[in-house]
Structure formats: structure tokens, C-alpha cells
A and B are shown apart, each in its own frame.
Chain A
Amino acid sequence: MTYEFDWSSIPGAVPFLIDGMVLTLKLLFLAMAIGIVWGTLLALARLSGVRLLSAAAGAYVNLFRSVPLILVIFWFYFLVPFFLKAITGDAGIAVGAFYSALVAFALFEAAYYCEIIRAGIQSVPRGQLAAAYATGMNYGQAMRLVILPQAFRNMLPLLLTQSIILFQDTSLVYVISLSDFLGAASKVGTRDGRLAEMYLFAAAVYFVMSFAASSLVRRLQTRFAT
């Protein structure tokens, strides 16, 4: 007996799948934005001369890089409401799967962004900081105006590559029943008994989008290199 592929459930499900992709992209861009800001602060902490601060940031990075992402998603889904209840005493606060997933991704990815940005800061010659200080800038100004712009520029390809990985990782939210793109595809497949087709279709969409994005990164890389 051979399996007969039947793709007919896709056209009717397009609006639902688009809703799923919108959620995926919302999660991606918000987690990227928060993750990069938090990762930058962590990188500055790791490189700071204050030993306690750099040790704390180092511990954070090592912790998040040593646990599976899926566990972090679970933790936040189950623990955040628990903590909120403990803090506010109000049992009725609903964080929602989306926000708990967003917090989990942002905090998790920040650990990776931190290491990329730290390498970026270290790639800027030390004399640049001296030059900024010599004109009377304080630490914050020197970092914001002179060092970080160069660090981000040097690390842009790596930051984007990490974000493509994040795009793929957002599919893990199916474990907390969020209807992201994969979640939506899976629900349609289950409803119509066409899981194989829907998973193949989802894989194709993830592949096309990730491949397009990484080709773009490569082009950017060669343009910056010259």
C-alpha cells in the first residue's frame, strides 16, 4: 500500500496559516529586540571592571547556554504565573502563553547575543575607547556613540544568523499550545488527517524563509567586507 498525498487541505487553511506566521514573526522580532538590548547590557556587564557584575553576567550566560530551550519555555510557562502570584498575591493574573514564551525566548537568546556582542566589542581597537575618552566622553557616551556602532557593524552577519536560528526555534512554542505557524499547520493536519502533508508544507516554508534570509546575510557580509 502506498500513501496517497492529498494537498487539498492547504488552500482553505491559508488564512489560519497566515495568522500562525504573523504570530511566529511577532514572537521573533519582539524576542530579537528585547534579546539584543538585554544581550548588549550583559556584554557590557561581562566586560566591565566590576568583578561582581562580570561574574553575574558570566553565570547568566553559562546557565542559559547549558539548558535546553524547551525547558526554559516550560519553566516560564509554569513558573511565571506562580511567581506573579507569590509577588502580588493575586491568583487570577493570566500571563498567557504568548508573553511567557516571549520572555523565555528573549532571556534565552540574550545569552547568545551577549557572546556575539562581546566579541564585537572586543573586535574594536582599544585606541578607539581612549580617543573617545580623550575628547571628554564618559563611559556611556563612548560605548553608545563610538564602540557599539562599530561592534554591531562587525557582528551584523552573526547577529542575523543567530536570529535565523531563533526563527526556527520559535516553532518550539507548540509545546505550550500556541498557534504559531507550525502549531497552525499541525492543527490543520490533525483536523483533516493530513499531518504528513502539513508537516512537509511547514518544513518547505521554514526552509524557503530561512534560506532567503541567510542568502541575504551572505550578500550583506560581502558588501561589508569590501
Chain B
Amino acid sequence: MIEIDAVGKHYGSFQVLSECSTRVNKGEVVVVCGPSGSGKSTLIKCVNGLEPFQSGSITVNGVSVGDRKTNLPKLRAGIGMVFQNFELYPHMSVLANICLAQIKVLKRSRNKAETRARSLLDRVGLAEQAGKYPGQLSGGQQQRVAIARALAMDPVAMLFDEPTSALDPEMIKEVLDVMVGLAQDGMTMMVVTHEMGFARKVANRVVFMDQGRIVEDAPTAEFFVQPKTGRARLFMSKILQH
């Protein structure tokens, strides 16, 4: 589904990503972790072309992201993305947030879009909040709306860029629960996160990044029991200590 092949990116002389290769197969959940500044957020933004890259290639569903001829808006419409800071549109109601791209990009009728939006809100447990504005919701609720907004486009895959990093601890669970539900329904997911409990529970593979490189890419069980590299072991010992 998502193939990342030898991707490299630099800002001037600063190498952000080098020789990154991995893949996410259909129905797979891949967790990307690593210390801050390791390039994991940049890598996931390259997948839907929000960040350009200079070398290598990424294909999603057979479409090359870096190709100049690729219709990026069309490609992105089929890939859901959830951001660290939710990025709901503050000037629109929750319902309008979820309907906007359905109507403007997929050209669905308002009726159809609203029906879809309401069923998704129900799925993320926010059926009662349709008429509210994002500013009236808690962080966890906002992030669940953001997930619903992405799902409304019927994406072939979902990208999560640190979806729980900006949340208070007690709200992390409600967002992770929705994500676990998605994973169990067979959604193809690439998730940048430090939530190792989530990784252990639903990830097929864990990718560990450091200084712009993928230093470890292993099945989840293997990664947790016996990280191959010293860098990954050190990282794990630090975040699993408590």
C-alpha cells in the first residue's frame, strides 16, 4: 500500500532524512518511533506530499508521490491524515468540519455528507457534539473529530502524526481507543507515536528512527523483546522505565 524507497531530504546542508526505506502493506499498522528530531514527522508528511523530498521514491496505492505529474490533491483525498495539533477549522462547526472536503473535494451532496459525518461522529463517540465549535471541545474530543474528518473521505490508508502528543494524559486513552478500533477493523495505518502500549497492542511492525535514518524495522514482538540496535535499546529503556 505504502512503499517508501531510499527517501532522502535535506534543508540546505542539513540532512533531515537519508536512505529511508520501509513499507506498509494493506491492512497493516506500522508504528514509527524515535527521539525528537529524528525525522519521523517529516517522513510521514512526505507520504502524502505535504513535505517534498529530494531523492528516492514513495508510492501509495501504486501512485508515485514525488512524481511531478501526480495529481497531489487527488492522491491526498484518498489518504487520511491526523495532526498533533488537531488542526480542526475553528470557524466551522464540528459537522461542517467533517463535511467540507466531502462536499468540495469528493462532490458529495450535503445530505450524503452529513449522514456520513453523523455516523462517523457516532463511531468516535461524539454524536452529541455535531453542532459545537472546535473551541468548545476538549483536546481529546477535537482529535476524535479530526479522525472522523479524515475517515469521511473513505481513505485507503491513515497517517497519524503524533496524535496524542498534545493531549493531557487522561485524554490520550479516548483517542487511542478510537485508533485501536480502526486498526482492528483492518485500516492500513502509519502512526508516529511514543505510545508503546498502543504499538504493542496493534502494530504489526515498529520502525525506529534516529538522526534521519531508519535504524530498526522489526515485527512488533521482536522489537519489544530484543531490539537489535543499541540506539533502540537505549530509547526503549528510557521511555519504558516508569
B-binding residues in A (CB < 8 A): 125, 127-128, 130-138, 141, 145-146, 149-150, 153
Contact = CB atoms under 8 A, between A and B. Distances in A.
A127 B85 contact: yes
A133 B50 contact: yes
Interface string B37-76: 0000000010010100000000000000000000011101
A134 B105 contact: no
Of the four ranges (under 10, 10 to 19, 20 to 34, 35 or more), the interface on chain B belongs to 20 to 34
Contacts of A127: 83, 85, 87
A141 B104 contact: yes
B87 A137 contact: no
Contacts, number: 63
Interface of B: 45, 48, 50, 72-74, 76-81, 83, 85, 87-91, 100-101, 104-106, 149-150, 153
Contacts of A131: 81, 83, 87-89
A133 B83 contact: no
A130 B50 CA distance: 7
Contact of B150 (A133, A135, A149): A135
A136 B101 contact: yes
Given A134-B81, A136-B77, A136-B153, A145 B48 contact: no
A226 to B, nearest CB: 11
B128 to A, nearest CB: 24
Given A134-B76, A138-B73, A150-B89, 13 more contacts: A125-B85, A131-B81, A131-B89, A134-B150, A135-B77, A135-B153, A136-B77, A136-B78, A137-B73, A137-B104, A145-B100, A146-B100, A153-B91
A149 B91 contact: yes
